[in-house]
Amino acid sequence: MMNAQWDYGEAVRLTRNVRNDGTYPGLDPGAPLVRRGSIGYVVDVGTFLQDQIIYSVNFIEEGKIVGCREEELIGADEAWTPSRFEFRDKVRSTKALSVGGEVLVELGASGEVIKVIRDAPGGVAYHIHFDSLRGRVLQIPEDALAAAEGNDEADVKE
C-alpha cells in the first residue's frame, strides 16, 4: 500500500468541514458530519481508486466514524488556526478592495475561497476569486470578508 502519514490510534485534526457525500447512513447527502478543527483517532487506513489514502477517523465527541482524505487532516498536535471560511465557501467583500489605488473589487462583490492561508502575517487570509475579476486571484484578510447570502452563517462561525 502507499505510504500512509498516520497509523492506527493516532490523533488527527480535521482541517475542513466534512459533509455527507451520500455514503454516511441515516443522514441526507450534503448534511454536515464533522466540523473543521475536530480531533479524532485513526481506526483504519485504506485506499480509494488505488491512488488516494483514506483514513477512517473516529470523532468520539461527535459520535461518528468518517472517511477522510490525507489532505483533510493534520496531526492533532500541529499548530491550528481556526478560520471563518474554507475552500469553496462563497464570500462577499465588506469593503472596496484596491491595489495601487485602483479599485479592483467593489463593496459587496461576491467570490469564492480558493485557498486558506492560516499563517499569513496579521492573521488568517484567503486567496479569493471574485466573480467580477475573472482570471485573477487576490489574497484578502479575513476581516474584509463576510459570508455570502445563502451561506449558513452558523456553519462558518467558530
pLDDT at 87 over 90: no
Tens-place pLDDT, residues 97-140: 988 899 999 999 999 998 888 888 888 899 999 999 888 999 99
Give the closest residue to 124 by CA, choosing from 99, 143, 109, 142.
142
Rounded Cα gap, residues 31 and 33, in angstroms: 6
Task: Give Cα separations from 71 to 6, 16, 106, 109, 117 (angstroms).
Answer: 12, 9, 33, 30, 15
Question: Residue 72 in 3-state DSSP?
Answer: helix
Report the topology of domain 90-151.
Answer: SH3 type barrels. (2.30.30)
Averaged pLDDT for residues 48-59: 86
Domain spans, the chain: 11-75, 90-151
Q: What letter would DSSP give residue 140?
A: E
**pLDDT confidence bin for 158, thresholds 50/70/90:** very low
Say what the pLDDT of residue 115 is: 86
Tell me the per-residue pLDDT of 70-85, one tens digit each, with 9 for 90 and over: 888 989 998 888 888 8
pLDDT grade, residue 154 (50/70/90)?
Answer: very low
Tell me the CATH class for 11-75: mainly beta
Give yes or no for a contact between 12 and 67, defined as CB atoms under 8 angstroms apart.
no
Percent of the chain with pLDDT over 90: 41
